Structure 1
Amino acid sequence: MRLQCRMGRNIAGLMMVGIKYMGSRLQSSLQAKLIFSHGDIQYHQLITSRYRQSLE
C-alpha cells in the first residue's frame, strides 16, 4: 500500500515536470512565431486601433 502511494506520487511528479517542460517548449515556440509574424502584429494593432475608433 505504501509502495503504491509512493509510486503514484512519483508519477504525479513526473507528469507535473512533463507539463512544465511542454509549457516552456510551447512558450519558446510561441515567442519564435511572434518574432516571425511581426507583420501580423502590426496588422493586429491596426485592427485594434480601428476597433477602438469605432467604439469611441
Structure 2
Amino acid sequence: MQSGRTAFEKAQGVPVFDYLGRHPDEAPLFSETMIGFHGREPPAVAEAYDFSSRPLW
C-alpha cells in the first residue's frame, strides 16, 4: 500500500466501481462474486444483533 491505491486500481487504472460503470457487462459477475463471498453474513448478523434499541434513521 505504498501508493494508497488498491491492487485493482493499480492494475486497471481506476477504482473498481468506476471500472464497472465503464464495463457494465462485467457488473453481474462482480455482484455474484460478492454474494458468494458474503451471502451468508447478512442473515447471521440480523439474527445475532438486537436492533430493538436502535432508531431506524
**TM, length-normalised to structure 2:** 0.33
More helix by share: 1
Larger radius of gyration: 1
TM-score by length of 1: 0.33
